[in-house]
C-alpha cells in the first residue's frame, strides 16, 4: 500500500486535479493507494480571513464565502458529468451553508474561539476531498472516500492538536484491514478530538495526516506531491542555481524542513521514521522528474553539505551579566519563563564563561518574551547583576545541513569565510553535537546574498558569480561590454567565473535588471531605462545587496569618483579607469585604499596608467616583494605619443590632434591630454603606489601649449586656437628635427622630485623608437639598478583600455 498526498497547488483547480487523477490511477494499477488532499489553493487563507472579518463585525466575510462557494462549484462542474452533478452540487451547498452559519455566529458574538477557528478551517479539506473523491468514482469504480476525522484522534489543543497514536493507529489499521478499495480519498489537515470536536494538525498538517496513515498501515512508501521537483539545495525562489536533491536522510530532511524548506512539514517525518518508511517528494506538474527520496540511509557524497536553508522573522534575545557566572539555575529560569509563555525557542547559544545566553525566537513573540524575561530577573536587574535583556529584531537564521558534515574538517571556517568576504555580519553561531547543522544568525537584508554566496561555494563547482554595475558606456564602455559578451562562455567554462551586468548608466539614462542584462541588446535596454540619477543608482546598488558586486567606473567624471567610498563601505568592489580619485589629495587616496582593506572590497585601477598594460600591478608586486623604487622615467600618454609620432611637415598639429580624437586616443576634452595634467596624474599614481607621499601640485608641469589654447572653453574654440598657433607647434617640431631628436612627452620621478613635459629624445634613448600610441615605463629599483625594469606596449585606445578594466574584473573573480 502507498500513501500519496497532494498539496494545495496540486489541487488548485479542475485542470490540476485531472493531473492528480491520472497520477493516482496509474499508481493504483499496481498498489492499493490512499490519497490525502489539501484544500484547494488559497482556500485555507480565505477561510482564515473570513473568520477574522466575521469576528470583527465586518460583513465582507459574506463575499469571501461566495468566492469559496463559486471556486468549489466551478471545480465540481468541470470534473463531474452534467448528469451526475445535481446531488453533488446540493451536497457542496449544504457544506457551504454550514460554514456560513458558523461565520454568522462569529459575527453575532463578535469573537472567534480556537475551537470555532479549527472547525471553520476544516471546511477547505472537507470540500476538496469530497469533490476529488467523487471525481475518482467517475473514473475508478473501486474507489471510496473516508473522513479523516473518524480515524485520527487528538486532544483538544485547537490549532495544533496532539495525536493520540495508540487509538489512531488502531482505528486506521482496523478500517483498512477490511477496505479493499483500490483508491481511498481522505482529507488532510483535519482530525477529531476524542469527544467528537473537529481539530486541526497545524499548517502543513496534510503532510502529517499522510504520514500518520502511512505509519499506521505500514505503507511501502509515502509520496508527497507538490509543485517543485523535490527538496532543493536552497530555496529556488532566492537561489536560481538551486538543484533538487536526489537522496537525503530522514535527519537531513528534518533539519532542512525545520529551517524553512517548505515542501515538507517538519512533523511529517516522525510517524514514518520509526518504521523506516521512505518518503518520495514528487512534482505533480512534472511526474517524470526523479524527485527527492528520503530514507534512513546516509548516502556517501563528495559534498558533505546536502542543503542550505533559512528561517525568516527571527529576533535575538540576549541575557547577560556578571550575576550569571557560576550561578546554577539561570538557564532553567530563562527557559521556564519562555515555556510558560508558550514561546518557542528556535536557536540557542551560550558563552562558555556563562556570562551570557543568547536565544532566537520568532519576531511575533519578541515583545512578550522581553517583558516576561525582565520580570523574571527583575531582582537581579535592580541589583545590576544582570542587564535588561537585549532585543535585536529583523534577523534570520541560515544553516548548512548535511549528515556527513561531521566527517569533514573546516566546513565552519569555509562557511564563515565565505560570508565574511561578502560583508555578511554574523550575530550568533550555533552547532549541534551531531555536527549535522551549522547555524548562524544574520541581518534579514543579507539573506539572499548569504544563501547565494554559500550555494555558490558549496554546490556550483566553485563557479563565482560577479555582478557588475557599469557607469559610463561610451567608446571604452561599449568595448568593455562587448568583451564581456564575447568571453562570457569561456570564463564560465574555463575560469569558473559567471559575469553578469546588472546595471548600466550613461549621463542620460540608467537601466537595472537583477537577473542580468541581455548584452546582445544592452543599447536598446538602456534607451528604455529611467532617467540617470547618480544618487538613485547608488541606492539601487546597495538595495540589491548582491554577492560579489563590482562598481565599474568608465568615466572621467569627478563626481562619480567621489562615490567610491560609499561603494567600498558596502563591500562593493570598485574597478575604475577614472584617474581622478587616485590622483586627488593624498588623504582621499589613502582612505580609499584603507576602506578597501577594511571592508574586504577590492579597489582596482590598473587602467589609470598605461590602459591595458600591467604597470600598476608590476609596481605592487615589486613593493610586496620588498623591492624599492628609486626612479621612474616614462612616456605615459598614448594619445600624446600618437600625436608627436604623426606630427610632421606633412601633417599639421591641428589635424593630428583631430585624428587622435577620432580614433579614441584622447579624452573627450583633448585639453586634458595636451595640458599634461593627465600625464601628471599618471606619474603621481605610480609614485604613490611606489610608497611615496606626494600631491599633484608638487609635480612640475612644463606645458608646451600656448596659454591661449588652454584658456579655451569649448572643443571648437580649442581647435581654432591650434590652427591660429600652428607656427608655435611647427617651431617645436623643427627644433627637434634639427637636433636629430624625436618629440616625446616624458614623466620623471627621482629623489622625491617629479616633473612632466615635452622632451627632445636622442637616438640612443629607449624612448626614441616608441611608435604609434605606445607607452613605456622604466623602473629603477634596488634590484633593477643598471638595467631598469621596462614595460612597453599600447597605452591608449578603447579596446586596450576596456581589456585592462576587464582584467581587473577577472582579478576580483580569482580572489
CB count in 10 Å sphere of residue 313: 14
Backbone angles phi, psi at 400, to 5 degrees: -90, 135
Indicate the length of the chain as a whole number. 815
Angle subtended at Cα 87 by Cα 85 and Cα 92, rounded to the nearest 5 degrees: 90
Which residues, including other chains, have CB under 8 Å from residue 719's CB and lie 6 or more apart?
Answer: 654, 657, 658
Which residues, including other chains, have CB under 8 Å from residue 117's CB and lie 6 or more apart?
Answer: 48, 51, 158, 159
Which residues, including other chains, have CB under 8 Å from residue 489's CB and lie 6 or more apart?
Answer: none
- Rounded to whole angstroms, the Cα distance separating 263 from 212 reads 17
- Rounded to whole angstroms, the Cα distance separating 26 from 223 reads 14
- Rounded to whole angstroms, the Cα distance separating 225 from 552 reads 46
Backbone angles phi, psi at 190, to 5 degrees: -105, 150
| 512-518-520-523 Cα dihedral, nearest 10 degrees | -10
Cell of 74: 466551478
Verify whether residue 682 is a known catalytic residue. Answer: yes
- The closest alpha carbon to 749, from 677, 694, 793, belongs to 694
Number of separate helices (H) and strands (E) present in the chain: 30, 30
Cell of 385: 547583576
Contact 658, 639 (CB under 8 A): no
Query: Among residues 682, 724, 751, 773, which one is catalytic?
Result: 682
- Rounded to whole angstroms, the Cα distance separating 385 from 377 reads 10
Strand ordering across the sheet containing 390-401: 347-350, 356-362, 307-320, 390-401, 437-443, 426-431
- The closest alpha carbon to 248, from 258, 234, 238, 233, belongs to 233
**CA 349 centroid distance within chain:** 26
Cell of 446: 543579507
Contact 477, 509 (CB under 8 A): no
E strand residue ranges, 710-752: 742-750
Backbone angles phi, psi at 575, to 5 degrees: -120, 130
- The closest alpha carbon to 135, from 223, 207, 75, belongs to 75
CA end-to-end distance (rounded Å), the chain: 55
- Rounded to whole angstroms, the Cα distance separating 104 from 274 reads 44
The residue assigned the cell 615605463 is 777
- Rounded to whole angstroms, the Cα distance separating 204 from 221 reads 19
Q: Could you list the active site residues?
A: 682
Amino acid at each position: 500500500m502507498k500513501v500519496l498526498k497532494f498539496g494545495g497547488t496540486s489541487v488548485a483547480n479542475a485542470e490540476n486535479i485531472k493531473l492528480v487523477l491520472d497520477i493516482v490511477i496509474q499508481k493504483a494499477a499496481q498498489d492499493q493507494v490512499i490519497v490525502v488532499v489539501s484544500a484547494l489553493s488559497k482556500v485555507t487563507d480565505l477561510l482564515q480571513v473570513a473568520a477574522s472579518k466575521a469576528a470583527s463585525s465586518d460583513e465582507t466575510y459574506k463575499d469571501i464565502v461566495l468566492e469559496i462557494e463559486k471556486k468549489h462549484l466551478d471545480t465540481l462542474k468541470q470534473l463531474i458529468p452534467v448528469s451526475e452533478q445535481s446531488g453533488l452540487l446540493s451536497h457542496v451547498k449544504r457544506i457551504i451553508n454550514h460554514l456560513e452559519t458558523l461565520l454568522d455566529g462569529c459575527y453575532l458574538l463578535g469573537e472567534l474561539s480556537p475551537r470555532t477557528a479549527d472547525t471553520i478551517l476544516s471546511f477547505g479539506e472537507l470540500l476538496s476531498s469530497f469533490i476529488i473523491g467523487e471525481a475518482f468514482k467517475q473514473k475508478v469504480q473501486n474507489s471510496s472516500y473516508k473522513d479523516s476525522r473518524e480515524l485520527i484522534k487528538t486532544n483538544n489543543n485547537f490549532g495544533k492538536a496532539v495525536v493520540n497514536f495508540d487509538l489512531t493507529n488502531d482505528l486506521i489499521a482496523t478500517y483498512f484491514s477490511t477496505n479493499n478499495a483500490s483508491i481511498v480519498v481522505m482529507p488532510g489537515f483535519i482530525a477529531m478530538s476524542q469527544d467528537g470536536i473537529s481539530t486541526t494538525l497545524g499548517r502543513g498538517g496534510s503532510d502529517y495526516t499522510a504520514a500518520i496513515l502511512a505509519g499506521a498501515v505500514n505503507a511501502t512508501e509515502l509520496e508527497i506531491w507538490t509543485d517543485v521537483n523535490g527538496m532543493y539545495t536552497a530555496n529556488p525562489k532566492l537561489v536560481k542555481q538551486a538543484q533538487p536533491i536526489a537522496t537525503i536522510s530522514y535527519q537531513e530532511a528534518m533539519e532542512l524542513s525545520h529551517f524553512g524548506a517548505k515542501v515538507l512539514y517538519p512533523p511529517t517525518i516522525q510517524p514514518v521514521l520509526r518504521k523506516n518508511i521512505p518518503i518520495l517528494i514528487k512534482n505533480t506538474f512534472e511526474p517524470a522528474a526523479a524527485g527527492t527520496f528520503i530514507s534512513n540511509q546516509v548516502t556517501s557524497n563528495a559534498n558533505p553539505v546536502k542543503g542550505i536553508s533559512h528561517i525568516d522573522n527571527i529576533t535575538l534575545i540576549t541575557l547577560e551579566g556578571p550575576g550569571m557566572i557560576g550561578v546554577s539555575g539561570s538557564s532553567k529560569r530563562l527557559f521556564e519563563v519562555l515555556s510558560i509563555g508558550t514561546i518557542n525557542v528556535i536557536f540557542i547559544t551560550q558563552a562558555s564563561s556563562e556570562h551570557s545566553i543568547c536565544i532566537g525566537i520568532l519576531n511575533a513573540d519578541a515583545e512578550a518574551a522581553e517583558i516576561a524575561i525582565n520580570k523574571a530577573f527583575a531582582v537581579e536587574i535592580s541589583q545590576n547583576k544582570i542587564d535588561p535583556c537585549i532585543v535585536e529584531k529583523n534577523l534570520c537564521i541560515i544553516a548548512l545541513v548535511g549528515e556527513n558534515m561531521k566527517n569533514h574538517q573546516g566546513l565552519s571556517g569555509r562557511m564563515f569565510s565565505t560570508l565574511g568576504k561578502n560583508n555578511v555580519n554574523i550575530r550568533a553561531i550555533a552547532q549541534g553535537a551531531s555536527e549535522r547543522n551549522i547555524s548562524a544568525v544574520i541581518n534579514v537584508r543579507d539573506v539572499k546574498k548569504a544563501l547565494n554566496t554559500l550555494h555558490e561555494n558549496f554546490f556550483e563547482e566553485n563557479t563565482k558569480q560577479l555582478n557588475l554595475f557599469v557607469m559610463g558606456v561610451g567608446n571604452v564602455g561599449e568595448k568593455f561590454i562587448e568583451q564581456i559578451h564575447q568571453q562570457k562562455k569561456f570564463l564560465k567554462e574555463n575560469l569558473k567565473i559567471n559575469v553578469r551586468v546588472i546595471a548600466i548608466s550613461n549621463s542620460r539614462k540608467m537601466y537595472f535588471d537583477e537577473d542580468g542584462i541581455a548584452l546582445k541588446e544592452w543599447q536598446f535596454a538602456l534607451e528604455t531605462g529611467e532617467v540617470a540619477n547618480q544618487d538613485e543608482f547608488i541606492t539601487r546598488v546597495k538595495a540589491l545587496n548582491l554577492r560579489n558586486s563590482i562598481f565599474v567606473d568608465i568615466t572621467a567624471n569627478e563626481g562619480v569618483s567621489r562615490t567610491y567610498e560609499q561603494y567600498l563601505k558596502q563591500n562593493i568592489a570598485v574597478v575604475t579607469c577614472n584617474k581622478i580619485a587616485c590622483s586627488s589629495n593624498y588623504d582621499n587616496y589613502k582612505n580609499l585604499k584603507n576602506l578597501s582593506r577594511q571592508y574586504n572590497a577590492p579597489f582596482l585601477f590598473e587602467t589609470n596608467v598605461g590602459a591595458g598594460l600591467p604597470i600598476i600591478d608590476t609596481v605592487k608586486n615589486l613593493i610586496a616583494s620588498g623591492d624599492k623604487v628609486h626612479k621612474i622615467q616614462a612616456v605615459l600618454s598614448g594619445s600624446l605619443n600618437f600625436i608627436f609620432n604623426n606630427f610632421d611637415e606633412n601633417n599639421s598639429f591641428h589635424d593630428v590632434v583631430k585624428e587622435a580624437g577620432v580614433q579614441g586616443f584622447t579624452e573627450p576634452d583633448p585639453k586634458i591630454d595636451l595640458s599634461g595634467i593627465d600625464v601628471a596624474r599618471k606619474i603621481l599614481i605610480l609614485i604613490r603606489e611606489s610608497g611615496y607621499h606626494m600631491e599633484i601640485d608638487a609635480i612640475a608641469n612644463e606645458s608646451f601649449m600656448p596659454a591661449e589654447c588652454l584658456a579655451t572653453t569649448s572643443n571648437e574654440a580649442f581647435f581654432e586656437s591650434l590652427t591660429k598657433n600652428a607656427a608655435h607647434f611647427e617651431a617645436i617640431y623643427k627644433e627637434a628635427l634639427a637636433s636629430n631628436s624625436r618629440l616625446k612627452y616624458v614623466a620623471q620621478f627621482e629623489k622625491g622630485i617629479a616633473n612632466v613635459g615635452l622632451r627632445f629624445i636622442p637616438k640612443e634613448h629607449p624612448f626614441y623608437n616608441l611608435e604609434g600610441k605606445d607607452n613605456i615605463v622604466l623602473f629603477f629599483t634596488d634590484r633593477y639598478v643598471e638595467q631598469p625594469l621596462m614595460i612597453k606596449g599600447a597605452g591608449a585606445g578603447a579596446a586596450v583600455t576596456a581589456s585592462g578594466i576587464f582584467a581587473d574584473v577577472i582579478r576580483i573573480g580569482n580572489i
